[in-house]
Amino acid sequence: MKKSLVRSYVDGLQESVHGESYGRIMRFFMPEFISSLLLYSMPMILDAYFIGSLKSTPLYSTLGATNNLIHFIIKVTEGLSVGTMVLTGLYNGRSHFEGVGRVLRDAFWTTLCMGMLFSGCLYFGAHWIYEWYVPAELVPLAVPFLRLRALSVLCMFVFMALAGFLRGIKNTRAPMKIFMAGTLLFVACDALFIHGMDFGLFSIPSMGLQGSALASVVQYLFMLVITLGYLLCSRRNRKYCLDLFSIFKGTSEVKRLLSSSWPVVLDKAAMAISYIWLLRMIKPMGTACVATFCMVKDLERFAFLPAIACAQIITFMVSNDFGRENWIGIKTNIKKVTLIASSLVLGLLLLMVANSHRLVQIFDRNNEFSDLAIQVFPFLSVLVFFDVTQLILSGALRGSRNEKTVMFTRLIICLGYFVPTSYVIAHWLPIESLALKFVLTYGVFYIGNAFMSLIYIHKFRTEEWKKPAIEGNVHGKNI
């Protein structure tokens, strides 16, 4: 007889035989948390702080709006990274080291081509992109900024695939250290390029918003070069017979990589595009509301970092256990990781809500949108908590080769619920209170995430999530 959902969850938290210990999970978690902090939050928050010090709401809004677009690009690169990580984990779990090396080679060339495609689209389509989703006064500021940022996107695509490979072989410390070095370089260059500095014999002029874009180019180029050097020169990686620059001997591995990646790319892109859609819905409310949206999003994303890190580690933990068909261990790990993520996110949210007045003042030096931000932040922070379970379970489903379940669920919820509901609230409902309209428009996104969680829980409560492994064994398709 199947246990109740609550009883099953509590029993899983106390499981000591199957799955990883809490101590081992935390050893996986800390490098990923630091990497997530350095990739998703710290650069954007410090960048926003430096731009905010210029005391221009249009400049701050332009930065925030562009970061939404870059966040979408990061999610696409994450999808390819997850595909690389899953295939690497499956090969590595079965000690098929030559296959691990082939995965890296194919990921390198695939992401290089895709990076060139995306960079070109951003560079030549910058004006059209901004006209669609930001107020008209921001477009002249945004176009040259995005065209320079497009150069960093190419490096980002390749670097994220290489980082996914390292995670797939359970090496989370190397990406963490590289992220740390890259972020420190970005922060130094960002402050230097935005404000400029006179060194006596030579000087760096103040470049404002363009300085932020140039710092990003330097960051990702540096991280890419360092990662390539580590992969090719480290003795630890020699057993994988790495040969990045060899010619393809067939397309089977590329197809398998794309097959594992495209559902993740679509589902992650759907979530990231939701933020761009939200900004499009908030656009008619004015530049101050756009700035409020950007600030609230950055603060909430910071509080959400533990969940992002936990989603990364549950993917590679599940992918390795899935290759061994360790079903009980997989479910136990999911429950433990969910508890860790939920506890940490809740603690950060409570701390940030208690200090919301001080946090808002950091970014709004002219007090043009502080009042609105202080009103909406506590309500939206409560809704953010709905997203934790959804993120962990979607990561676990990807690790178990159920990428399409996540993809279809997210697409259906985003297109069938979120987009029409947010449009009705933003354009049709006669809501006089700007704060209420803002919260309702933004809030439907997180309610949609709660619906996704229910679907994922139902999936794991059945035996359907095991089918990719069972079918692979029946048909002799084990890699």
Rounded CA separation 114/112 (Å): 6
The CA distance from 41 to 31, in Å, is 15
Strand partners, 204: 197
Listed range (54-58, 196-200, 211-215, 315-319) with the worst mean pLDDT: 196-200
pLDDT of the residue at 479: 42
Residue 363 structure tokens:
């970014």
C-beta separation of 131 from 139 below 8 A: yes
pLDDT in the model for residue 122: 92
Q: Please report the pLDDT score of residue 477 as a whole number.
A: 46
pLDDT-derived band at 392 (thresholds 50, 70, 90) equals: very high
- Tokens standing for residue 177: 């250290």
* Structural domain contains residue 454: yes
Within a domain: 360: yes
Please report the pLDDT score of residue 463 as a whole number.
75
Token output for 322 = 């899935």
| Any domain includes 150 | yes
Tell whether 419 is covered by a domain. yes
Residue 353, pLDDT > 70, answer: yes
List C-alpha distances in Å: 238 to 230, 242, 247. 11, 7, 19
Indicate the pTM of the whole model: 0.79
Answer whether residue 286 shows pLDDT above 70.
Answer: yes
25 contact partners, CB below 8 Å, separation of at least 6: 313, 333, 336, 337, 340
Residues in Cβ contact with 92 at an 8 Å cutoff, skipping those fewer than 6 apart: 100, 168, 169, 170, 320
For residue 90, which of 28, 169, 154, 184 has the smallest C-alpha distance? 169
Q: What pLDDT was estimated at residue 476?
A: 45
pLDDT in tens, 238-255: 777 777 767 666 666 677
What's the mean pLDDT in 30-35?
A: 82
Q: CA 379, CA 372: separation in Å to the nearest integer?
A: 12
Assess contact for 312 and 29: CB atoms under 8 A: no
Residue 143 lies in a domain: yes
Instruction: Tell me whether residue 382 is in a domain.
Output: yes
- Worst-scoring range by mean pLDDT, 69-73, 94-98, 400-404? 94-98
Condensed to tens digits (0 to 9), the pLDDT of residues 397-436 reads 888 888 788 889 988 999 999 999 999 999 898 888 889 9
Residue 212 has pLDDT above 50, yes or no: yes
Contact 335, 9 (CB under 8 A): yes
Give me the mean pLDDT over the 184-212 stretch: 84
Instruction: Confirm whether 297 is domain-assigned.
Output: yes
Q: Report the chain's mean pLDDT, rounded to a whole number.
A: 84
The most confident of the ranges 79-83, 200-204, 219-223, 301-305 is 219-223
Bridge partners for 198 per DSSP: 203
Q: What is the pLDDT of residues 433-458, one digit of tens each?
A: 889 999 999 999 999 999 999 999 88
Residue scoring higher pLDDT (171 or 478): 171
Residue 74: phi and psi, rounded to 5, are: -60, -40
Q: How far apart are CA 310 and CA 389, in angstroms?
A: 10
Neighbours of 21 (CB within 10 A): 10
Write phi, then psi, for 246 (nearest 5 degrees).
-80, 160
Cα 328 to chain centroid distance, Å, stands at 28
Q: Which residues is 197 bridged to in the sheet? A: 204
How many structural domains is the chain composed of? 1
- pLDDT class of 96 with cuts at 50, 70, 90: low
175 falls within a domain: yes
Q: Are 393 and 457 in contact (CB under 8 A)?
A: yes
Gap between the Cα atoms of 198 and 71, Å rounded = 33
Range of the domain at 284: 5-474
pLDDT for 474 equals 42
**Distance set, CA 376 to CA 173, 213, 437 (Å):** 37, 30, 10
**How many Å from the N-terminal Cα to the C-terminal Cα in the chain?**
35
